[in-house]
Structure 1
Amino acid sequence: MKHIIEHAQALRGPLRTVAIDLPDIQAETRASLRLLASEVAALGRSDLNSIMGDALNARDGHADEDIDRLIERLR
């Protein structure tokens, strides 16, 4: 689980800036978010899957709040 927490923490900054019109960074950040979602899904915890669903569906620049919740649940 430690690597998932590290992955989530590494995404926090880019998620805050994804609302800025930088298509390459947006695409890279969304791809990383989808990878994190697959790592979380492998844990088999519906509460974490729900948080990741919220993060994946969040408006640009707002998924960081969901990632913060995910990190708290994983600790």
Structure 2
Amino acid sequence: NEMVKHLSLIAHTFYATEFDFPKALRKEEIVGSIENDEIQLVDDYVEFIKNYQGDTLVITGSLYFISEVKSKLDFEAL
């Protein structure tokens, strides 16, 4: 995935996750296209986002994934 390659060059740490969708890549498949030494696999992305303590967290993926993230999280409360 071209977008993943570009992001992996500028991100300090790359977190890969997956969600329940027929065409979704598994997190292990995403890792294969990341050119970054700091890679962590995330099983529960909802809890991860809620508890993230870093400065900036960029959430990206398909429109299906972004819609699911938005529906499961109240970003106003974060």
Give the structure-1-normalised TM-score: 0.29
Higher relative contact order (CA 8 A, sep 6+): 1
Bigger Rg, structure 1 or 2:
2
Give the structure-2-normalised TM-score: 0.28
Q: Of Structure 1 and Structure 2, which has the larger fraction of its residues in helix?
A: 1
